[in-house]
Amino acid sequence: MPSYDMITFSIVDQCNLSCQSCPAEHISKTGKLRYAPVELCRRVFAKIAKDYGNPRMPLYSLSEPLLHPELPGVLDAAGEQGLTVEISSNLNSQRDLAPIIEHPALERLDISLDAFTQATYEKGHARGRMEIVKGNMRRIAEMRHGGKVYIKFLRYNDNAEEELLMQEFAENLGFHFRSFPATYFPYGDILEAVTSGKEYEPPAEAAPLLSRLLTHDLWKVIPTPVFADSACHNQERILFINYAAKIFCCNYATYHEFGYVGDFLDLTADQIAERKKDFSFCKKCRAIGVQAQNSIKSALENDEELQAFFAFLNQKDVSRVASDPIYIYGAGLRGRNICAILTGKKLPVRGFLDDSPHLRQAVVDGLPVTTFDKLSPEERQRARILLGFSAPRSLMTQLDARIRTENPRGLQQVGAFLLEATRHQSQDS
């Protein structure tokens, strides 16, 4: 039976704000809110439980689930099947949140933010009101469910001080806090252009956003056939279902007709897997390596070491260096980007090593996350362990010493991998 790490079921088709950095901002608005009725949700959840067990299940895809008028009923329907779900929200809602936050079927709530003051907030969240967001955050904290709340803060070149203020505010309420660089990447429009042999150019109205970004030109997708066989996490490990129980090939194409795969309730699990595997748009996308580029490009822009690593792998035969299994120490953004670069060259990456408690037994980009101690004795001795995050020298020394007790290479930085590969190339020639 096919399986997925995550099934995204977007129960509404719209958002209540207008945010230039969100891919949904570049999608034609439908006007009237469309949402999945509770009875339809019940049928979808029953099929998910029967065919796929209890995968990770966000109830959103470029949309605002708190707009659903019967959201507590949707959570009831999920709970009836023994499922747990996730919600992401801008938290600009006047509704009573208690029946949602306190519902046992809600496993996680992500709150998307990019400011602490109203003046900065309205730059990125048009129509948003910071006093409503903070008020809702305080009320959620009073419910004593802060452990299931995660703040996702978007960084720009003008909100560094506000990030610190929001982090302090959120952590004092008992919430988790992480920050990420904001990006401009209207996926569907870009992919439609590039796979048609055209070059995408941002519209003039995107200029104010582009001027605020820390990372630039990520939307410049260049056909790179070398990544044609690289894994596509969206195609292989995630199932995307919209408010009408229709399947789309990936999150990037959720609101585009070219992404429609079939009706979830009318297809068997095997039929769904076959349609996704042979879907025409996915073949066009993969043929030019688009599926691997977005994450890689974001890493390469300000990382000279990864730039050299990427260029080296594109120019050299590293098969001699890749005879042993590879694990990447660190399942964060840099580790995932190193993974994408390596798998793009068909090197044997077996998984991630990460000691973070929240990543225990997790699956990241289709690969398992474990710890060094849980590898088999043979793998601990033979595996090539690449450092996948920027670590202080003291921590790196500590990790290296721990690994060297069983692995003669120890913890390798990307540069060490390149030196060893270069040495093999010299010996071969």
CA pair distance 310, 342, nearest whole angstrom: 9
Query: Which one has a higher pLDDT value, 221 or 275?
Result: 275
Measured at the CA of 81, the angle between CA 76 and CA 86, to 5 degrees, comes to 60
Does the structure show a pLDDT above 70 at 420?
no
Mean pLDDT of the chain: 85
What is the number of residues in the chain?
429
Q: What is the pTM (predicted TM-score) of this model? A: 0.72
Does the structure show a pLDDT above 60 at 224?
yes
Does the structure show a pLDDT above 90 at 372?
yes
How many folded domains does the chain comprise? 2
Q: What is the mean pLDDT of residues 159-183?
A: 93
> Considering the domain boundaries, does residue 365 fall inside one?
yes
Q: What percent of the chain has pLDDT above 90?
A: 47
CATH number for position 71: 3.20.20.70
**412 and 353 part of one domain:** yes
**pLDDT attached to residue 360:** 73
**263 and 320 part of one domain:** no
**248 and 361 part of one domain:** no
- List, as own/partner pairs, every contact residues 277-283 make where C-beta atoms lie below 8 angstroms and the sequence separation is at least 24, other chains included: 277/235, 279/235, 279/249, 281/191, 281/195, 281/249, 281/253, 282/232, 282/235, 282/249, 282/250
First to last CA, the chain: 48
Of 125-129, 242-246, 273-277, 359-363, the one with minimum mean pLDDT is: 359-363
Does the structure show a pLDDT above 60 at 302?
no
> In terms of DSSP bridges, do strands 176-181 and 149-155 run parallel, antiparallel, or are they unpaired?
parallel
CATH number for position 403: 3.40.50.20
Enclosing domain of residue 379? 303-428
Of 7-11, 187-191, 250-254, 308-312, the one with minimum mean pLDDT is: 308-312
Q: What is the mean pLDDT of residues 319-323?
A: 64
